[in-house]
Structure 1
Amino acid sequence: MPPASTSSLRAETLTTGEQFRAAADLYTRVFGYDRAEYSLNPNLLSALARNGGSAVGVYTDEDDLIGFAYGFAGRDRDGGEFHYSQAAVVDTAYQDAGVGRLTKEHQRTVALGWGHRTMRWTFDPMLARNAHFNFTTLGGEGVGFVPDYYGRPGTDRVVVEWALQRDHDPYGDLRRAQPPALGRDDWGRVIRTTVTRANGARQDAQWLALPAQTASLADEEQTARDPLRLRLRDALTEFENQGRVLVACTRIDTSTAAYLAVGRTEGEEAR
């Protein structure tokens, strides 16, 4: 079936057992999971949706579920509260149809309804397309990096934070900054430059090159040994040690994209 236009799609909060089961099926199918421990329990979705969490879906006008996200209330060690989005998936037949954004926007509405003002989630740092969506499309920031996030080698993740109510994006001009001319030979390298802010000020910037297109590997042991992933791990760890945030992931050409890491803009508190 061809992708539907965004105007023909609708987002809604999931409430019935049938909807929760359909969401669990979509989750398993999109991620390609074939091990029972990675499946999603519909009862858990119902409990989350009733107790400070979220379970949202996007439907076609024929009532086919093509997008899904779920999350729960979170708190960090410093007492900061947020809505944690554990996963968001889009049917592969509907990629680039605006489904992901519609899904996240409805999840945002649910989170605000529970009183949350920020949302967090994680993604594989090798997935430039996901990074571009998180930073440039939604306006989130990469505020942390956690090696082996799920306690298994090969599960390194960038932590994204999305301000759900913000009158002004302090990184808006930086998200549009053009990276230097980088290519395949630069993958995993950090390039230091300066960028010009909208007010004319110059700001220190660091660019990290990576493949523009990479499939997430199901074999985590192979992933953990990938030399490029290890170089990305070192660079992202150093960004965090320096107190930098990721604010953009820009595609340079068909082969190469680049993260932009900058110092936190004044007025944006560390999370």
Structure 2
Amino acid sequence: MPVEIRQLTTMSELYEMQKVEAAVWQMDPIPVHQTFTAMHHGGIILGAFEEDQMVGFLYSFAGFDGKASYLCSHMMGMLPGYRMNGLGEALKFKQAEIARKLGYDMITWTYDPLESRNAYVNLHKLGAVGAIYHPNHYGEMADELNHGLPTDRFQIKWELGEKKSVQPATWDIELVLLDGGSHGEPIIKKHLETADIADSSTYFVAIPADFQTMKQTDFTLAKSWRLETGKVFKKLFDHGFQARDLLRTKEEAYSYYVFIKE
């Protein structure tokens, strides 16, 4: 059966969404009074259904920074078995379709920069931009995906009217600021501390292809990746770079961010 994506409109659907939340994160779900209020004040809440069972959701609410309004996309989750078939991408495109009709020009959200699948969808498939780096953004979290590590996040800005402009033919793979070693360890290039980052408009940063598996098999190594990439991310963002794409293949142990200074 094909999966149907539609807006949630009732309390009973929001309670079903809570069940998916709990199954994905093993933590208390968002209170229904909160999601119900957001739904009626500019928010967009989507459910993905296989027949009558909700198998995924996407929760977003209205945002304002004092200058412009936008849509804050706060949480997306899918049951096991529905995470590798393009459902997340389909949810995001449906969200954008509805957001445009409501008058939104931009959608923003955060994600873990070491999650290569999310990065690939956000940057490569959607053509969004990793615009801001937030070290340890949420502080300590006890859920299964975040427990024991700093909660570093990239903040995505998805301008709904923009077209992707990255040209892969111009990439110089030699400009790698952090790479993976032969034993899976992160290696910061020696020239990082002394380099004038402004010397180039494009840099590459490696991340593990499967960070969650690494956390389960070698937590110390996973923590090292978090800390070492954080140093490189901070330097790049401090110098005006943004994450614009991710080079990812299923066969390789590492994926590579493309950072560009506009």
d(CA) in 1 for partners of 2:201 and 2:169?
A: 14
Q: Is 1:228 equivalent to 2:225 in the alignment? A: yes
Q: Is 1:66 equivalent to 2:81 in the alignment? A: no
Deviation at 1:188, TM superposition (A): 5.3
Q: Which runs of 5+ in 2 are unaligned?
A: 141-148, 192-199
AA aligned opposite 1:155: T
* Corresponding position of 1:255: 253
Q: Is 1:158 equivalent to 2:157 in the alignment? A: no
Q: Which runs of 5+ in 1 are unaligned?
A: 193-202, 265-271
User: Which residue among 1, 7, 13 is the counterpart of 1:13?
Assistant: 7
Give the superposed CA RMSD.
Answer: 2.9
Tell me: CA distance 1:81–1:191, structure 2 relative to 1, closer, same or farther (3 Å). Answer: farther
AA aligned opposite 2:58: A
8 Å CA contact 2:186–2:224 kept in 1: the answer is no
8 Å CA contact 1:142–1:158 kept in 2: the answer is yes
d(CA) in 2 for partners of 1:228 and 1:133?
A: 21
8 Å CA contact 1:73–1:82 kept in 2: the answer is yes
d(CA) in 2 for partners of 1:75 and 1:190?
A: 40
> Normalized against structure 2, the TM-score is what?
0.80
8 Å CA contact 1:140–1:247 kept in 2: the answer is yes
Tell me: CA distance 1:41–1:178, structure 2 relative to 1, closer, same or farther (3 Å). Answer: farther
d(CA) in 2 for partners of 1:146 and 1:216?
A: 23
> Normalized against structure 1, the TM-score is what?
0.78
AA aligned opposite 1:207: F
8 Å CA contact 1:190–1:209 kept in 2: the answer is no
Tell me: CA distance 1:65–1:135, structure 2 relative to 1, closer, same or farther (3 Å). Answer: same
d(CA) in 2 for partners of 1:159 and 1:216?
A: 24
* Deviation digits for residues 52-85 of structure 1 (CA, Å, limit 9, x no counterpart): 111111112x1221121111112236x2432110
Deviation at 1:254, TM superposition (A): 2.9
Tell me: CA distance 1:156–1:97, structure 2 relative to 1, closer, same or farther (3 Å). Answer: same
d(CA) in 2 for partners of 1:217 and 1:54?
A: 34
* Corresponding position of 1:48: 38
SS at match of 2:110: strand
8 Å CA contact 1:190–1:235 kept in 2: the answer is no
* Corresponding position of 2:197: none
8 Å CA contact 2:181–2:187 kept in 1: the answer is no
